[in-house]
Amino acid sequence: MSFDLHRPATISEAIGLSTRLAPAARYIAGGTDLVIQINRKKVFPDHLIDLGQLPGLAGVAETAGGYSLGSLTTYRSIELHPAFQGNLSGVIEAARVVGGHQVRNVATVGGNIVNASPAADFVPALLVLDAELELTGPAGNRIVALRDFVVGPGRTVLGPAEIVTSIRFARLPDRSATAFLKEGRRKAMEISVVCVAACLTLDESGSSCASARLAVGAAAPKAMRPQQAEAYLLNRPPGRVSFAEAGRLAAESSAPISDVRASAEHRRHLVAVMVERALTACHQRILEQGR
Amino acid sequence: MTRTNLDILINGERHQILIEPHWTLLHVLRSVVGMMGTKENCLEAECGVCTVLLDGKSVNSCILLAGQTAGRSVTTIEGIGNPEHLHPLQAAFIECGAVQCGYCIPGMILTAKSFLDENPGRRQSRDEIREAIAGNLCRCTGYRKIVDAVALAAERMSVAGAKP
Ligand SMILES: Cc1cc2nc3c(=O)[nH]c(=O)nc-3n(C[C@H](O)[C@H](O)[C@H](O)COP(=O)(O)OP(=O)(O)OC[C@H]3O[C@@H](n4cnc5c(N)ncnc54)[C@H](O)[C@@H]3O)c2cc1C
Ligand code: FES
Ligand code: FES
């Protein structure tokens, strides 16, 4: 392991360094993915550019339309943030399953997205919120939808020297709830065999689904939105029958692999069961809000 | 690769150390400063024996680059109590017999301290405690007595209302 560590004080300094040192430079945030990849000799950067001191990149802000998470926000600060206690509790549920406390105190949400692991837990939780990323690079700022950002295992549309600066999503309408479920081989400290996020909104009467968004991690080369399942639920009554059918459709559109942790068949079965459970949890939460 | 100067507070004392960019905080603590209370095992953030507090929060020092901690404050097990004045967690671990070989204990205590300090004055359920120490493996105790000890310390610290 040998590299130089740079600690820029501003975003433009970081981008300048990265442009000058490309392609031998990598950004580092918490380092919980990157340092292990370097130790395992999977990547060999000559230069690491630490984003940790850049101002304004950590923390949660409430905006006119919704929320903005700085890319350097840690899971632990999300878990403890009051903004997510209500109908965004799925965000907390996803933050809570990443590693142990020690990892969650340093690992960042931006690092999870850019690392682009098919099993990244926080990505599905953000996908169901239709999250957008703000990127800053040599040519200025641009906005990219999260669903277009990751293109495959370890691959994203991030341009040279670009930094993910923030992640944004809108506030949810009334009668909405979110949920996140993870299945690993053991309860803690294990990467997902399958993870599922759901965001459900009911119409005013509460008797049909006004919107249903689903995301599944670790069941395809990248986290996916099972569109047939989402479309099926539209305008249907919420409940066991429709949620089970949505689970079946989601499993059908998944493309899992077999590996040491689970067979493709087992993963597909998990998708069906977990989608149904996540939707049931959302429904239950909406009913509880109404009381 | 260029050596750089690391300015860091360790257990309240300022250190200026010449480091290589790839050195981890764990390496600096054990091999440069000679603080052996912080243990070394998996080097992949899986076992928790290398846990220290960075600005009061538990972190795995085995995958944290020392350079990332410049200007910050590190607390190791050597910094949270001494034989005359044990930290409530240390006292509780002894009272509950929550120690076999002791290898995991510095990490367990610092992880528990970081967690308890997040909610001062609040009692913690056994489930919350189990979840909080999930990043720390113990080969010997079976965890039950460790959870007992953290619960006892949490109880006492919540009654005391303040940190020692
Ligand atoms: C013990 C352990 C358990 C774990 N458990 C889980 C788990 O259960 N679920 C899970 O999803 N993950 C898990 N992880 C993986 C990891 O902690 C997360 O993916 C984390 O969110 C990565 O964030 P980071 O800040 O540490 O990223 P880093 O390692 O710093 O960076 C990861 C990648 O993203 C790039 N990058 C980081 N930030 C930016 C930015 N703002 N702009 C541009 N590029 C950037 C880096 O160049 C690098 O390529 C675990 C890791 C460990 C060590
Ligand atoms: S040595 Fe750091 S977690 Fe195991
Ligand atoms: S007491 Fe031996 S590892 Fe925990």
Express each pLDDT in A257-283 by its tens digit. 777 778 888 889 999 999 999 999 999
At residue A1, the pLDDT reads: 67
Calculate the alpha carbon distances from B60 to A146, A218, A290, B34, B103 in Å. Answer: 29, 26, 43, 18, 15
Q: Per-residue pLDDT averaged across B148-160, rounded?
A: 90
How far apart CA A30 and CA A13 sit, in angstroms, is 19
pLDDT in tens, B15-31: 999 999 999 999 999 99
Of A118 and A67, the structure prediction assigns the larger pLDDT to: A67
What residues of chain A have any CB closer than 8 angstroms to a CB in chain B?
A: 1-5, 7, 28, 31-32, 35-36, 38-39, 48, 50, 52, 76, 80, 96, 99-103, 105-106, 187-189
> SS3 for B143?
coil
How far apart CA A122 and CA A109 sit, in angstroms, is 7
Neighbours of A152 (CB within 10 A): 11
Interhelix angle B88-95/B105-118, rounded to 10 degrees, is 130
Q: Taking 60 as the threshold, does the pLDDT of residue A285 lie above it? A: yes
pLDDT in tens, B134-149: 999 999 999 999 999 9
Distance in Å, CA B52 to ligand 2 centroid = 11
Strands, sheet with A163-170, edge to edge from the N-terminal-most edge strand: A60-62, A66-70, A163-170, A132-137, A140-145
ipTM of the complex: 0.94
Cβ atoms of A46 and A1 within 8 Å: the answer is no
Q: By C-alpha distance, which of B65, B87, B88, B68 is closest to B78? A: B87
Q: Is the CB of B143 under 6 A from ligand 3?
A: no
Tell me the pLDDT of chain A averaged across its residues: 94
- Confidence tier at B164 by pLDDT (50, 70, 90): very low
pLDDT in tens, A200-243: 999 999 999 999 999 999 888 889 999 999 999 999 999 999 99
> SS3 for B65?
strand
Size of chain B, expressed as the number of residues it contains: 164
How far apart CA A87 and CA A286 sit, in angstroms, is 8
Q: Which residue is listed with tokens 């249903």?
A: A212
Q: Lowest-pLDDT range, A112-116, A250-254, B46-50?
A: A250-254
pTM: 0.95
Q: Taking 70 as the threshold, does the pLDDT of residue A186 lie above it? A: no
Ligand nearest to the CA of A14: 1
Share of chain A above pLDDT 70, in %: 98
CA of B161 to nearest chain A CA: how many angstroms apart?
21
pLDDT in tens, B74-124: 999 999 998 899 999 999 999 999 999 999 999 999 999 999 999 888 888
Handedness of CA A149, A151, A157, A161 (dihedral sign): positive
**Nearest residue of B to residue A2 by CA position?**
B22
For ligand 1, mutation pick of A6, A11, A17, A33 (most atoms within 8 Å of CB): A33
Structure tokens at A67: 């929320």
At residue A165, the pLDDT reads: 98
Could you identify the atom of ligand 2 that is nearest to the CA of residue B26? 2
Q: Taking 80 as the threshold, does the pLDDT of residue B4 lie above it? A: yes
